[in-house]
Chains A and B, each alone.
Chain A
Amino acid sequence: MTSDMADRASRVPGVERDGIRVQCTAEDMRKAYLSFRAGGVGFCPALHIAGAYPIMVTGLSKDGLMDYEVVIGLETHIQLNTATKIFCSCKADSSSDGPNTNICPVCTGMPGVLPVLNKSVVEKGALLAAAMHADLPPVSFFDRKNYFYPDLPKGYQISQYDRSLARGGYMDVSMPDGSTRRVSIHKLHLEEDAGKTKTENGRRLIDFNRCGVPLVEMVTGPDIRSADEAAQYLTNLRQLLRWIGVSDADMEKAQLRCDANVSLRPHGADYLNPKTEIKNVNSIEAVRAAITKEVERQTREYDSGRRIESWTLEWDEDTQTLKKMRSKETEADYRYFREPDLLPVYLDDAWKAAILTALPELPLARRNRFVGDYGLPAYDADLLTSERSLSDYFETAVKAYGGDPKRVSNWLMNDVMRMLNESGKTAAELNLRPEYLAQIIKLVDAGAVNTNTAKSLLEKVNRTSQPPAQIVAEEGLAKVSDDSAIRAAAEQVVAESPGEAASYRTGKVGLMGWFVGQVMKKMQGKADAPKARAILEELLK
């Protein structure tokens, strides 16, 4: 554009210039669409006035209203579960400490102190980066991000800026419809957390306990297309973080924090509109709800010809509404420069290799393998890979069992997962070891115990840690298939129940189940049920 054109364009309401890329309001777009329907070329009148070029009309629905594409990027802060803080030897977790009790001169920014980098932070960060398929450059740097805030005792945050621990990366997110969306990672770096502030009676209270807790800041590209996808990304991320053991990732405890950048654009457009940033969302459901609300709001704004401004919004969990936050004290310029108190971090090949030996098979790969190798239904595979120790448990059990993996899956999903839920333990912590589960299933397969016995056997093994076969032997739980013993019990039951016997004989055949139950009761559940039924039918003829 010539400067004259630019000048005219800038005076046209609702038109912005961005090189040759032009955006206009919904109202302009509607006019363009109407002109198109009337047989015109379909250009935006405002842009035409501005001397710009016709633009293709895309993303309009039949009634001329915009059909928007939702563009979401998520900025997450992940607390690494190290023992100590990133730059000092205070413990990282202050959840059970009073205010300002888990602090030292370093994390409170006393004059003269210096940061010393925690090796484990680099290792956990690198492991996460590898799990996100990011590159790990051989050298990275820490930088100072300068701003004033009372929860930041040094007046700068030690972070990583242009040469961070990792470059690039992505996460494949499995969507509820079975598809996979690849979400790119734009930024992944290490930094220190700030303290906490809260307002009470018009005063601001400051607690430095959280200062220096190690964080990974991870920012996705604008690749997420709905509130549900955002929620799914976070679900998968949380699963991954726990899976690789770098974070406990409890959003309610702020171990995983998420800010969402939300914007809309016409379908097919390749530019980005101004976005709003939603902060303070501390559960996956809240992220879903807040984004849904914001998409609705932005749609309304665009539909009524207004623009979206780059606000920072705060999610109010109680009222389920978004509020506009104060503008930041220091705008864009944090005057980043290399932290002179820290040396570059050299991640040489040997160290990198040592770190990566701890990288397990990732959840999605394992899920797909469970479907492919074991023939599990997708539902089973999803459930069994929701948590790493459960999937390890499954696999160990399958190997010990040697039979149909789906049979193991059924036992796991029905019985073992109930035990896990009731006890709050992880699969690895169960006394019922996967080998024992396999043995119990084998006992059932061999007809040595019946299903009911097997279920109570699970509980007994878990309670006593004894091998199933030993319990079966000691307690005489083996299924009784001996006709004479069952016949004796059945004769006794019939003799003791003349009324029921008479009813049965007059046609109330539904009582058979009751008779079988009575026989089982007499034999402490060990009777072979089909046999008992056959004998009873004979006796009651």
Chain B
Amino acid sequence: MSDEITPELFKHLAELAALELDETESEYLRGQLNNQLKAIHELEAIPLDAETPIASHGVPYTPATSPALRPDTWSPYPNPAALLKGAPETDGGYIIVPEIPTQDLG
């Protein structure tokens, strides 16, 4: 059986995932993905009708068990500066990142 995730598809997935992977790592990961997919295909054996509902959670939430929405009341965070402490690069209160890639307009 041929691999569902080919090296080309794998490259595409890695690009979407923003992961720069070397050859060895790629081959291992691709192999594992294909193995997992074989397990996943077991799901196809289950007869499913369109009636079978899709839910975001296993436990059903009813209005009685669902928390109320948040009231629109301002409550300032006491120490916003602390949230920037872990940023790799900051300047004047801004977080700094490298320039965003631009496309040559040609």
User: In the complex the two chains form, what is the Cα distance from A202 to B99 in whole Å?
Assistant: 6
Q: Is the CB of A119 within 8 A of B98?
A: no
Interface 9-mer from A48-56, A110-118, A436-444: A110-118
Query: With contacts A82-B72, A203-B99 known, is A110 near B83, CB below 8 A?
Result: yes
User: In the complex the two chains form, what is the Cα distance from A102 to B80 in whole Å?
Assistant: 7
Query: With contacts A101-B80, A343-B61 known, is A120 near B94, CB below 8 A?
Result: no
From A83, A205, A338, A340, B74 is in contact (CB under 8 Å) with A83
Q: How far is the CB of A346 from chain B (nearest CB, A)?
A: 6
Q: Is the CB of B101 within 8 A of A326?
A: yes
Is A103's CB within 8 Å of the partner chain B? yes
Q: Is the CB of B80 within 8 A of A340?
A: no
Is A222's CB within 8 Å of the partner chain B? no
B47 — which chain A residues lie within 8 A by C-beta?
A: none
Instruction: Type the 1/0 row for B63-106, where 1 means its CB is closer than 8 Å to any CB of A.
Output: 10011111111111100110110000001111111111111010
B77 — which chain A residues lie within 8 A by C-beta?
A: 89-90, 103-105
Is B56's CB within 8 Å of the partner chain A? yes
From A110, A121, A330, B16 is in contact (CB under 8 Å) with A330
Q: How far is the CB of A527 from chain B (nearest CB, A)?
A: 59
Closest A residue to B70 by CB, please name it: A116
User: In the complex the two chains form, what is the Cα distance from A201 to B18 in whole Å?
Assistant: 26
For the A-B complex, the count of residue pairs with Cβ-Cβ distances under 8 Å equals 113
Is B57's CB within 8 Å of the partner chain A? yes
Q: Is the CB of A206 within 8 A of B97?
A: yes
Is A421's CB within 8 Å of the partner chain B? no
User: In the complex the two chains form, what is the Cα distance from A326 to B95 in whole Å?
Assistant: 23
Query: With contacts A83-B73, A119-B70, A119-B71 known, is A203 near B83, CB below 8 A?
Result: no
From A117, A150, A330, A345, B97 is in contact (CB under 8 Å) with A150
Q: Is the CB of B93 within 8 A of A101?
A: yes
From A99, A117, A324, B70 is in contact (CB under 8 Å) with A117
Q: How far is the CB of A155 from chain B (nearest CB, A)?
A: 9
Instruction: Type the 1/0 row for A73-101, where 1 means its CB is closer than 8 Å to any CB of B.
Output: 00000000011100001110000001111
Q: Is the interface of A mostly helix, strand, loop or mixed?
A: loop
From A82, A100, A338, B56 is in contact (CB under 8 Å) with A338
Closest B residue to A122 by CB, please name it: B69
User: In the complex the two chains form, what is the Cα distance from A101 to B102 in whole Å?
Assistant: 29
Q: Is the CB of A346 within 8 A of B63?
A: yes
User: In the complex the two chains form, what is the Cα distance from A203 to B75 in whole Å?
Assistant: 33
Q: Is the CB of A100 within 8 A of B83?
A: yes
User: In the complex the two chains form, what is the Cα distance from A203 to B93 in whole Å?
Assistant: 14
User: In the complex the two chains form, what is the Cα distance from A207 to B87 in whole Å?
Assistant: 12
Q: Is the CB of A104 within 8 A of B80?
A: yes
Q: Is the CB of A89 within 8 A of B93?
A: no
Q: Is the CB of B69 within 8 A of A105?
A: no
Query: With contacts A84-B72, A122-B69 known, is A206 near B83, CB below 8 A?
Result: no
Q: Is the CB of A83 within 8 A of B96?
A: no
User: In the complex the two chains form, what is the Cα distance from A348 to B66 in whole Å?
Assistant: 14
8 Å CB interface, A475-526 against B: none
Is A423's CB within 8 Å of the partner chain B? no
Is A298's CB within 8 Å of the partner chain B? no
Q: Is the CB of B70 within 8 A of A89?
A: yes
B16 — which chain A residues lie within 8 A by C-beta?
A: 330
Instruction: Type the 1/0 row for A202-214, where 1 means its CB is closer than 8 Å to any CB of B.
Output: 1111111000000
B97 — which chain A residues lie within 8 A by C-beta?
A: 150, 203-204, 206
Is A148's CB within 8 Å of the partner chain B? yes
Q: How far is the CB of B58 from chain A (nearest CB, A)?
A: 11
Is A199's CB within 8 Å of the partner chain B? yes
Q: Is the CB of B18 within 8 A of A148?
A: yes
Closest A residue to B104 by CB, please name it: A326
A3 — which chain B residues lie within 8 A by C-beta?
A: none
Q: Is the CB of A206 within 8 A of B70?
A: no
User: In the complex the two chains form, what is the Cα distance from A150 to B89 in whole Å?
Assistant: 13
Q: Is the CB of B74 within 8 A of A84?
A: yes
B80 — which chain A residues lie within 8 A by C-beta?
A: 100-104
Closest A residue to B98 by CB, please name it: A204
A108 — which chain B residues lie within 8 A by C-beta?
A: 83
Closest A residue to B55 by CB, please name it: A338
A-B contact pairs, 5 of them (CB 8 A): A100-B94, A150-B97, A205-B96, A323-B105, A345-B69
Q: Which 10 A-B pairs have the closest CB atoms?
A: A104-B77, A120-B72, A119-B69, A205-B94, A89-B75, A326-B103, A99-B93, A206-B95, A116-B70, A338-B56
Known: A84-B70, A204-B98. 9 other contacts (CB 8 A): A98-B93, A100-B84, A100-B94, A103-B77, A202-B99, A203-B96, A203-B99, A204-B96, A208-B95
